Amino acid sequence: MTLGFYPGCSLKGSSREYAESVLAVAKAFDINMEEINDWNCCGATAAHNMNKELSLALPARILSLAEKQGLTEIVVPCAACYSRLTVTKYELSKDPALKTAVTDANGLEYTGSVSVLNIVQMLDKYITPNLEGRVVKPFDHKVACYYGCLLVRPHEILKFDREEDPQSLDVLMLKAGATPIDWAFKTECCGAGLSVSRTSSVGRLSGKIIGDAKDRGAEAVIVACPMCHSNLDMRRDAINSYLGEKIDIPVLYITQAIGLALGLDRKALGLQRHFVKVSV
């Protein structure tokens, strides 16, 4: 079977191991991921902070291209892209004048027919039903499943999982053989877009997340967002200096952890690309 695929910019650069692991897991289940031709950046935080129309027109172009390509369902592994695409669909569906302004700017037809799936929805729909018999190396570790912000909020628009204490990643990890822990920072923000412009804030916010995961005995943190990953992994020096101790708990994408449970090659999952060594 074939699913549409919107990797987004991070998955082509600083988070390419997320793309590698998504594609490796999909391949293991004979799913062909068809990339949207000539896709553009969704605009991310910068666009919606600076210019509302731009923040809707950029994602709308992506959705229009997917329609043109005949895709009915697209998988969007980055939680931030997933949020922007889903919010755009929502805003355009309830405001015809806005839809006209955006399609005029884009010069492309837009009907809103494409379904947008985040990575957990994709795994739940196409992988989980067949996962149990395929787990050859159970991920036998205590894990802190970290959802961050944009995968679960705002619920009014995303309608995915619970806003406080979500469970979808925990259930997935349980099926992969892990022991998900109860902890307090599942949906607290990592600092996201301030990573470069205000690194000290990110050290503090991400520090609290890593600190709590460690205090409760987690051996790995599981994420589903490239920004969460880069803050918790690449910014570990800022985190450790905020905490005043050296914490080396690795941060894995959900697809890397599932891939390990499936017995996939560590390199094919991009584990060697992390800043914090993946010892699990």
Partner 1 sequence: MSSDTHHSGISGLGEEVLGHTEVKVSQCYQCGKCSAGCPLSEEMDYPPSVIMRMLQTGNPDLEDKVLRSFSIWVCLTCEMCFARCPMSIDIPKMMDFLREKSLNEKKANPKAKEIVAFHKSFLDSIRFTGRLYEIGLFVDYKTRTLKILDDLALAPKMMKRGKLNIIPELIKDRSGVAAIFRKSNKKNKN
- Residues that bind partner 1 in the complex, under the rule CB under 8 A: 9-10, 12-16, 38-41, 43-55, 57-58, 61, 104-107, 149-150, 153-156, 163-164, 187-189, 191-194, 196-199, 201, 205, 234, 272-275
Least separation, in Å, of the C-beta of 101 and partner 1?
A: 8
Q: In whole angstroms, how close is the CB of 111 to partner 1 at the nearest point?
A: 19
Measured from the CB atom, is 51 or 113 closer to partner 1? 51
* Residue 263 one-letter amino acid: G
Closer to partner 1 at the Cβ: 175 or 235? 235
Neighbouring residues of 226: CB distance < 8 A, sequence distance ≥ 6 = 8, 10, 11, 14, 15, 18, 77, 78, 80
- The residue among 134, 65, 56, 120 whose CA lies nearest residue 89 is 56
Nearer to partner 1, 30 or 104 (CB): 104
**DSSP classification of residue 181:** P
From the CB of 41, what's the least distance to partner 1, in Å? 4
Instruction: Name the 3-class secondary structure at 183.
Output: coil
**216-to-142, 158, 219, 250 alpha-carbon distances in Å:** 9, 30, 9, 15
For the bound state, the minimum distance from the C-beta of residue 133 to partner 1, rounded and expressed in Å, comes to: 33
Nearer to partner 1 among residue 1 and residue 196 (C-beta): 196
Minimum Å distance from CB 154 to partner 1?
Answer: 5
The span from the CA of 38 to the CA of 19, in Å, is: 17
